[in-house]
Amino acid sequence: MSSKKVFAAGWCFEKIFWIFIICSIFGAFWEESLYILKCFIKFGTFMWSPRRGVLYGPFSPIYGAGAVLMIYCLKGTKDKWYTLFLKGALIGGAFEYLISFLQETFVGTSSWDYSNKILSIGGRTAIPYMISWGLLSLFLMRWFYPLICKWIESFPCSVGEKITKLFLLFFIFDALLSWTAILRWTLRTNDVRPITPVGKFYDNIFTDVYMQKHFPNMKVIK
């Protein structure tokens, strides 16, 4: 008798991709929920603002990539909870620092600045946020990752493969469009005029107002 084929079995591309997508969605809603709570505590009213990394869809890729990195580094270990917490804090803090540096260096924007926070590390991360990453690693590895693995592997293979291809094509398009629009936004803010029809198209469609609305926590570095 032949065993039934399991979709996204083991640590494969399909498993990595869906963990990335799911955690990107989770991260976006997590950030938006924190913003709502912060506004309610400070102003006594409910206010919502998008906290996403792409133009279309509820995705915060930094959370998705961070989750994939953390799972890759921590899966299969039998560490005590405090060791897992410490590793997660260090991985999360290093990842946050690196992403902030790369975003500022290659895209010319900044989405966070912890310079005025307690125990800040170069303004790119801070000890309190690293503690949050450590707590998140406990939640991720002890509960969320095993649960999400079972859910992903429960997809019928034919359905899972088709949906993966569709989502992959959509996300690649969304990411390329979003990040090139951000790059053009940066150039435009620094008075660099478009020299191609593509640049002119971006300036007409993805205006400063449009970009600020979709990325309210992102600042262009001049």
Of the pLDDT bands very low, low, confident and very high (cuts 50, 70, 90), residue 222 is confident
Measuring CA to CA, which residue among 135, 152, 211, 156 is closest to residue 180?
211
Of the listed ranges 37-41, 94-98, 101-105, the least confidently predicted one is 37-41
- Whether residue 7 is contained in a domain is answered as no
- Whether residue 75 is contained in a domain is answered as yes
Task: Write out the residue range of the structural domain in which residue 161 sits.
Answer: 13-220
* pLDDT given at position 3: 60
pLDDT in tens, 195-218: 899 999 999 999 999 999 999 989
pLDDT in tens, 4-14: 788 998 899 99
Phi, psi of 8 (to 5 degrees): 55, 40
- Whether residue 76 is contained in a domain is answered as yes
pLDDT in tens, 157-205: 989 999 999 999 999 999 999 999 999 999 999 999 998 999 999 999 9
- Whether residue 27 is contained in a domain is answered as yes
Average pLDDT (114-135) is 92
- Whether residue 207 is contained in a domain is answered as yes
* pLDDT given at position 6: 87
- Whether residue 43 is contained in a domain is answered as yes
pLDDT in tens, 38-71: 888 888 888 888 888 999 999 999 999 999 999 9
* pLDDT given at position 38: 86
Most confident region among 42-46, 128-132, 217-221 by mean pLDDT: 128-132
- Whether residue 213 is contained in a domain is answered as yes
The count of structural domains within the chain is 1
Q: CA 214 to CA 209: how far, in whole Å?
A: 9
What is the overall mean pLDDT for the chain? 91
Q: Is the pLDDT score of 1 beyond 60?
A: no
- Whether residue 182 is contained in a domain is answered as yes
